[in-house]
Amino acid sequence: MAGERLDKVLAGSLPDYSRNRLKAWVEAGAVMVDGKVTKARYLLRGGESVKVFPQEMPEQFAFSPENIPLEVVYEDDSIIVINKPPGLVVHPAAGNWSGTLLNGLLHRFPELKSLPRAGIVHRLDKDTSGLMVVARTAHAQTALVRQLQERTVGRRYLAWVWGDAPSQGKVLASVGRDQRDRLKMAAGSPQGKPAATLFRRIAKGNVENAPVALLECRLETGRTHQIRVHLESLGFPLVGDPVYRKKAPGVAKALSFDRQALHAFALSLQHPVTQELQTWFRLPPVDLINLLPQVGMSTHDLPEEGVVLASIKNEVRA
């Protein structure tokens, strides 16, 4: 092994562990050559003693219960409705193996450990707040997934956008991975999936003469970043969006708001057991309430629960 790099020697000697895991152990100081911590690219001379101290990896805690505060809006034997705060990741993944909604659900509802993804059937972006439904049984999970596939789950969002948005509209554009930036999604992507977003303007405001609009958005599909991508494609990027902001005006920097101004405020579905149409409504969290006067709006511009529920019932009858 003389003349070989340490990381290559480790990979050949410990085939049960991935190269990335072994490299992480080296960088964490858990691999010693002749009693000293070194680098992964260290060249061995021959005759050294190499000791490896296996470390637990973050992903090992991905499905561990954690005492994370959750606002439970509704629960029964079949479903749970959560009002997710901004900043909370829904599902463990690279970079967020703990501290997620899933970890919190497993702590509060231990029986969810027997369900795929702990009963989670749809997601919200980390910095999007609002209502989500979680299944509590296998039957409920299957029924909710079917409703999502059939597009009968009603999901309504409040979105604050830059620009003079029209009174209403519909965006029909596929959403898929951006070919130039794999961390972003793009509207009209040839490899994307069909997506549809309906919106109506419910208030207008401005920041230093730059127009702002408050939109109610309704999803017909549920693609990753769908609302953010669709509205930016029309020239109406979300206020505070750190990713899709190329079309945001220069005065955007004047606002002290650093997440996409997006809140899932209404959720409706057919209960998987009783078949009853159920609807839940939650006003935006405090950071969005505090944003209102900054963009020339007030709480009077927000939709009222009764009006929203009546609208949903009329749509169902139609």
Q: What is the pTM of this model?
A: 0.80
Please indicate, yes or no, if residue 315 is contained in any of the structural domains: no
Q: What is the CATH number of the domain that holds 44?
A: 3.10.290.10
Q: Is 256 exposed, middle or buried (0-12, 13-18, 19+ CB in 10 A)?
A: exposed
User: Worst-scoring range by mean pLDDT, 14-18, 264-268, 286-290?
Assistant: 14-18
Please indicate, yes or no, if residue 108 is contained in any of the structural domains: no
Q: pLDDT tens across 187-212, in order?
A: 988 888 999 999 999 999 999 999 99
How many domains does the chain divide into?
A: 2
Please indicate, yes or no, if residue 23 is contained in any of the structural domains: yes
Q: Is 164 a catalytic residue?
A: no
Contact 87, 69 (CB under 8 A): no
Distance between CA atoms of residues 316 and 219, nearest Å = 15
Please indicate, yes or no, if residue 157 is contained in any of the structural domains: yes
Q: What is the CATH number of the domain that holds 219?
A: 3.30.2350.10
pLDDT for 111 equals 93
Distance between CA atoms of residues 145 and 167, nearest Å = 32
Residue 90 in this model has a pLDDT that exceeds 70: yes
Q: Give the residue from 228, 216, 158 showing the smallest Cα distance to 186.
A: 228
Q: Mean pLDDT throughout 75-92?
A: 96
Please indicate, yes or no, if residue 250 is contained in any of the structural domains: yes
* Given the residues 125, 127, 241, 287, the one annotated as active site: 125
Please indicate, yes or no, if residue 209 is contained in any of the structural domains: yes
Q: To the nearest 5 percent, what fractions of the chain are helix, strand and coil?
A: 30, 30, 45
For residues 43 and 159, state if they share a domain. no
For residues 157 and 270, state if they share a domain. yes
3-state class (DSSP) for residue 154? strand
pLDDT for 178 equals 87
Please indicate, yes or no, if residue 162 is contained in any of the structural domains: yes
For residues 155 and 50, state if they share a domain. no
Domain that holds residue 158: 151-281
Residue 68 in this model has a pLDDT that exceeds 70: yes
Share of the chain above pLDDT 70, in %: 96
The mean of the pLDDT values for the chain is: 91
Please indicate, yes or no, if residue 256 is contained in any of the structural domains: yes
Task: Provide the pairing of β-strand 79-84 with 185-187.
Answer: unpaired
User: Worst-scoring range by mean pLDDT, 56-70, 149-163, 229-243, 276-290?
Assistant: 56-70
Q: pLDDT tens across 153-171, in order?
A: 999 999 999 999 999 999 9
